[in-house]
């Protein structure tokens, strides 16, 4: 089993023989809440297994060191690298946009080669999108569809989340179309991620993981920013948990 306990969500997967996902669970509550426990219960329930049936559990993410069931813990970078490779075997560069983190990784021979993480602040993370969605009085899930209807994207220039909030409010007050603002917000996130990954040097193919990968608006904006195809997978949010499970699997194989 792999558990990815992040700041805003707890993700668990059970993998069979290191090859298939037997069960998965995502709970939108992170470390320090009931999220991890609920996610664990959820994935056991779905698989019909009990904790004793699990050969080895590895944890990753912000809350990785507070899970009693996990005998192993790995950094989320190694796990996202591993998970991304499983989801997309040809991958060379991974961007992970999480709740409060943005990371870029390069893969070499199926392993993590180099990485870089965002500096200082919330801009460009899932948190930024949450704040902006709140300002617009929309659900996060509505954002991709609003973006798709945008005709005249309005750029948000501020790098500071607080300044950006005030910019968006200002634009709303002037009667700017919400769809155009959402497109601008997505572009902001894409620009931050693009800037980060360029520091590493991009080698294609590029794969996007993390909760924000489910936002097709951000994916499209990122493709535009980088001028290349950005691949993702509906299971991209599980990349960390998958990676952790695979690393646990490898550990068992080594011991045998």
Partner 1 sequence: MAELNKQEIKPAKIRLKEIAEKATQDAWEAKKRGEKIGWCASNFPQEIPTTLGIHVVYPENHGAAIGAKGGGQRMCEHAEGLGYSSDICSYARINFAYADLKECPELNIPQPDFLLCCNNICNCLIKWYENLAFQLDIPLILIDIPRLDAFECDQDRIKYIRAQFDDCIRRLEEITGKKWDEERFKEVMAISQRSSKAWLKAVDYMKYVPSPFSGFDIFNNMAVACVARGTLEGAEAFEQLAREYEENVKNGTSTFKVKEEYRVLFEGIACWAHLSYTFKTLKNFGINVTSTIYGPAFSFLYQNLDELMAAYSYVPNCNIFEREVELRVKDAIKNKVDGAIIHMNRSCKKWSGNLYELERQLREQAGIPTVMFDGDQSDPRAFSEAQYLTRVQGLVEIMAANKRQKEEQNRE
Partner 2 sequence: MNKMEKILDELRFISTHPKQQLEQYLAAGKKVVGCLPYYCPEELVAAAGMVPFGLWGAEIQVSEAKRYFPSFICSILQTTLELGIKGEFDRLTAVMIPILCDSLKGMEANWRYGVKKVPVINVAHAQNRKMQAGLEFTVSQYRKIKKQLEKLAETPITDRAIAVAIKTYNEQRGVMRRFLAAAGKHPELISFADRNAVVKSSYFMDAASHTAKVRELADLLEQAPESKHQGPKVVISGITADYSGLIKIFDDCQIAVVDDQLTQGSLRFRFDVPLTADPIVGLAEQIGQIEGCPVLFDPGKQRGQMLIDLVKQSEAQGVIFVQTKFCDPEEFDYVPLKSMLDKEGIPSLLLEGDKQTTNYEQARTAVETFCEILG
Q: Which of 137, 174, 175, 199 binds partner 1 (CB under 8 A)?
A: 199
Q: How many residues bind partner 1 (CB under 8 A)?
A: 15
Could you tell me which residues come within 8 angstroms of residue 184 by beta carbon, excluding any fewer than 6 positions away? 153, 154, 155, 156
**Residue 75 touches partner 2, criterion: CB under 8 A:** yes
**How far is CA 23 from each of CA 9, 16, 30, 47, 129, rounded to the nearest angstrom?**
17, 9, 19, 5, 29
Nearer to partner 2, 114 or 159 (CB): 114
Q: Which of 148, 160, 203, 252 binds partner 1 (CB under 8 A)?
A: 160
Q: How many residues bind partner 2 (CB under 8 A)?
A: 14
Q: Which of 191, 220, 231, 235 binds partner 1 (CB under 8 A)?
A: 191
Q: Which of 7, 75, 100, 158 binds partner 1 (CB under 8 A)?
A: 158
The answer to whether 136 and 145 have CB atoms below 8 angstroms apart is no
| 3-state DSSP of 170-229 | HHHHCCCCHHHHHHHHHHHHHHHHHHHHHHHCCCCCEEEECHHHHCHHHHHHHHHHHCCC
Nearer to partner 1, 79 or 104 (CB): 104
Element (H, E) at 22: strand 20-27
Stretches 73-81, 85-93, 176-184, 190-198: which one binds partner 1 (CB under 8 A)? Answer: 190-198
**Residue 101 touches partner 2, criterion: CB under 8 A:** yes
Residue with tokens 């920013």: 225
Q: Which residues bind partner 2 (CB under 8 A)?
A: 62, 74-78, 101, 112-115, 117, 119-120
């Amino acid at each position: 089993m792999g558990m990815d306990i992040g700041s805003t969500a707890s993700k668990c997967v059970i993998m069979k023989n290191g090859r298939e996902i037997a069960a998965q669970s995502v709970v939108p509550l992170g470390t320090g809440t009931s999220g991890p426990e609920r996610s664990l219960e959820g994935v056991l329930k779905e698989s019909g297994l009990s904790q004793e049936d699990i050969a080895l559990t590895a944890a990753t993410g912000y809350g990785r060191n507070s899970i009693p069931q996990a005998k192993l813990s790995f950094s989320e970078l190694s796990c996202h690298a591993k998970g991304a490779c499983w989801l997309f075997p040809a991958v060379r560069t991974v961007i992970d946009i999480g709740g409060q983190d943005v990371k870029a990784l390069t893969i070499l021979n199926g392993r993590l080669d180099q990485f870089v993480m965002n500096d200082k602040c919330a801009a460009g993370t899932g948190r930024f999108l949450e704040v902006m969605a709140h300002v617009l009085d929309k659900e996060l899930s509505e954002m991709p569809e609003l973006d798709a209807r945008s005709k005249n994207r309005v750029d948000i220039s501020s790098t500071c989340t607080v300044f950006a909030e005030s910019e968006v409010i200002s634009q709303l007050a002037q009667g700017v179309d919400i769809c155009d603002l959402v497109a601008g917000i997505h572009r902001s996130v894409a620009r931050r991620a693009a800037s980060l990954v360029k520091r590493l040097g991009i080698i294609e193919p590029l794969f996007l993981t993390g909760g924000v990968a489910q936002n097709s608006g951000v994916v499209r904006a990122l493709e535009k920013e980088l001028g290349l195809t950005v691949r993702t997978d509906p299971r991209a949010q599980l990349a960390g948990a998958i990676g952790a499970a695979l690393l646990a699997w490898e550990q068992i194989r080594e011991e045998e």
